[in-house]
């Protein structure tokens, strides 16, 4: 399975057992992508991890 990167339109291969919420990195531009839907395959730029400051 493949999907196009939303940043550079490069081809990103996904494992056959991919699940929603899984993170992958575009091999062309290095953007971290999150799989948000399996049907149809849809990815979004993964949110950056924010510090919770011990909350």
Q: Where are the domains of the chain?
A: 2-45
Q: Are 46 and 26 in contact (CB under 8 A)?
A: no
45 has a pLDDT exceeding 70: yes
pLDDT at 10: 96
The pLDDT-based confidence of 48 (bands split at 50, 70, 90) is confident
CA 47 vs CA 16, 17, 21, 32, 36: distances in Å: 23, 22, 11, 9, 12
Closest of 45, 13, 46, 41 to residue 27, by C-alpha: 13
**2-45 architecture in CATH?**
Single Sheet (2.20)
Identify whether the C-beta of residue 29 lies closer than 8 Å to the C-beta of residue 22: no
- pLDDT higher at 50 or 1: 1
Each residue's pLDDT tens digit, 9-41:
999 998 889 999 999 999 999 999 999 999 999
* pTM of the predicted structure, to 2 decimals: 0.79
């Amino acid at each position: 399975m493949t999907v196009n990167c939303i940043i550079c339109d490069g081809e990103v291969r996904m494992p056959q057992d991919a699940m929603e919420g899984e993170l992958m990195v575009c091999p062309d531009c290095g953007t971290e992508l999150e799989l948000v839907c399996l049907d149809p395959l849809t990815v979004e730029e993964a949110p950056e991890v924010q510090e919770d400051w011990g909350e």
